[in-house]
Amino acid sequence: MYSVELSQRAQKFLEKLDNHLRERIEERLRKLEENPVPKDVKFIDRANGYKVFRYRIGDYRTLYKVKESEKIVLIAKIDKRPRVYSK
């Protein structure tokens, strides 16, 4: 089983959302604990030796890294589709 950790950027974004939407996103992110690479994610790139994936949650996208050796799913960024890919 993996642990899901949020970056500071992702945490701030979730704090700004209304409760219903935040709970929906958090529920989907918890599913990554059981299976860090479900069939509906897309491999994006490699960064610092880690695989980077995109996870679609409605109108929102989540970019995350899977640290296999440490059993950690690091949520790097959550945002709406047009903004999530910008730096």
Q: Which CATH superfamily is domain 3-84 in?
A: RelE-like (3.30.2310.20)
38-50 pLDDT, tens per residue?
Answer: 999 999 999 888 9
Dihedral over Cα of 38, 21, 10, 45: its sign: positive
Phi/psi class of residue 57: alpha, beta or left (left: φ > 0; alpha: ψ in -120 to 50)?
A: beta
> How far is Cα 1 from Cα 16, in angstroms, rounded to an integer?
29
Q: Which amino acid is at 84?
A: V
16-67 pLDDT, tens per residue?
Answer: 999 999 999 999 999 999 999 999 999 999 988 899 999 999 999 999 999 9
Q: Take residue 37 and report the two structure tokens written for it.
A: 């690479």
